[in-house]
Amino acid sequence: MSHKSKGYRVFSFFNHIFLIAIALTCLLPLLHLLAQSFSSKGAINGNLVSFWPVGFNVDAYIKTFENSNFVRSMGISVVRTILGTFISMFVITTAGYALSKDFRGRNGLMWIFIVTMLFSGGLIPSYILVSSLGLKDTIWALVLPGAFGAYNLILIMNFFRTIPKALEEAALIDGASFFKIFWKIYLPLSLPGLATIGLFIMVGHWNSWFDGILYMSSTENYPLASFLQTVVVQSSSQNMALDPTAAKAMSEKSIKAAQIFIGTLPIIIVYPFLQKYFVKGIVLGSVKE
């Protein structure tokens, strides 16, 4: 395969430059955060820090890891993310696979799920429900309520649908059972799709902060995102009775930056490992109609 026409080469050249430039703009804010986390307080407050630390020190990081609340909330986030993603993927993939087939009850079931995407009782009924089920202050309050998402269901269903039926028909002729078809044919082929959605769910769990603050009555139970929320939001609060020590805490932008950065790090690290599922070309094998 050669695409070496002159027009194509010019296009390719500019294409690469353009993409690299865009990619860099996506990287810069993180670099900025990183630089801040290593800079001195005075430099940050004086707006001297852009992409390189000024007044280099690692104090922010030391303080962050010394803070047992930070470390613990990170642990909680890890648990909820893994647990939550597994449960979510299980629930959505099973239903998504079923709905990708055609059968009598399919449409009805589909609408049952779709309606939940649009209508919701709101904050109060959801809170009362979680509270009455006794889930408050447990990890289950973070993992169960959002386990099912109709949006993701539809996406996964469509990923399954893109796999040609001919494969299933061929397997049926060979006498394969229902579950074998699911396990050996559809699952592996839809891996890019599943990995994608799985990643989204993971990110959702990792960044989810409101449920933590809402359902937990102690900071010991906060997931990391909730913890960070309390750290960052303070800087924009209109608390009139702030006293000197509070104001001082607000100036600790380097610690904030460090915390935000570390909070984002795990996802950034996990992501490349999942990438291989999207990038690998999958050869379906030609099927002639």
Partner 1 sequence: MNQVTPTEVNQLENSKIRKKKTYRTPWRTELKKNWPLYVLCIPALVFVLVFSYAPMGGVIIAFQDYKPWLGILGSEWIGLDNFRRIFEYQESIQAIYNTVIIAVIKILVGIIVPIIMALLLNEVRHMGLKKGIQTLVYLPHFLSWVTVAGIMLNILSLDGGINHFLANFGIEPIFFLGDPDLFRPTVIISDLWKNFGFGMIVYLAVLAGIDPTYYEAAEIDGANRWQQTIHVTIPTMLPMIIVIATLSLGDILNAGFDQIFNLYNPLVYSTGDIIDTYVYRSSLLNGQYGFGTAVGLFKSGISLVLIIISYRLAYKFAGYRIF
Partner 2 sequence: MMKKKIGLFFSAALVVGSLLAGCDNSSKETSSEAPVLKNGKYDPEITLTIAKQLDENAGKYKKGESLNDNVLTRWGQENLGINIKTTLLGGDAGNYNTKLRLALTGSEELPDVFPVYDKQLISDLIESGRVKEITTDIEQYMPDRLKEIYKQFPNTFNPVVKDGKVYGMAISPNLTEGEVMLIRQDWLDKLNLKAPTNLEEFEKVLEAFTTQDPDGNGKDDTYGFTFSGKDSYNTGWVSDPVMIFSAFTGKNLPGQWNEENGELTYGSVAEGTKDALAILNDWYSKGYLNKELATQGAWDAITPFTEGKAGIIIGRPWLYGSVKDVETNVAGAQVKPYATINGLSGEPTYQSGQENDGYFMFNKDTNKMEAFFLYYDKLYDAAFGTGDFKYGYAEDYDYDIVDGEVVFDPKKFDPPMDELQMVGKMSFTKNTPSVDGPGKSFYDVLNGAKADTGMLMKAEAADEPTKEGYAISYENQDVLLPSIFNGAPTKTMESNWEQLSTMERETFTKIIYGNLPLTAYDQFVKDWNAKGGEQITTEVNEWYNNANISEVMPKMGLE
Q: Does 283 bind partner 1 (CB under 8 A)?
A: yes
Burial 152-164 (b: 16+ CB within 10 A, else e): bbbbbbebbeebe
The burial class, CB within 10 Å (0-12 / 13-18 / 19+), for 182 is middle
The Cα–Cα gap between 159 and 179 comes to 18
Q: In this chain, which stretch among 16-24, 46-54, 198-206, 270-278 interacts with partner 2, using CB under 8 A? A: 46-54
Least separation in angstroms between residue 274's CB and partner 2 is: 31
Q: In this chain, which stretch among 71-79, 90-98, 213-221, 238-246 interacts with partner 1, using CB under 8 A? A: 90-98
Do residues 178 and 151 make contact, with C-beta atoms less than 8 angstroms apart?
no
Least separation in angstroms between residue 196's CB and partner 1 is: 5
In degrees, rounded to 5, the angle at the alpha carbon of residue 23 between the alpha carbons of residues 22 and 26 is 95
Size of the site for partner 2 (CB under 8 A): 57
Instruction: Report DSSP state, residue 39.
Output: S
Q: Does 284 bind partner 2 (CB under 8 A)?
A: no
Q: Does 245 bind partner 1 (CB under 8 A)?
A: no
Do residues 285 and 166 make contact, with C-beta atoms less than 8 angstroms apart?
no
Q: Does 173 bind partner 1 (CB under 8 A)?
A: no
List the one residue from 10, 17, 22, 58 that touches partner 1 (CB under 8 A).
22
Least separation in angstroms between residue 187's CB and partner 1 is: 13
List the one residue from 251, 264, 267, 277 that touches partner 2 (CB under 8 A).
251
Q: Does 104 bind partner 1 (CB under 8 A)?
A: yes
Please, which residues have CB within 8 angstroms of residue 63's CB and are 6 or more apart in sequence? 255, 258
List the one residue from 62, 71, 82, 128 that touches partner 1 (CB under 8 A).
128
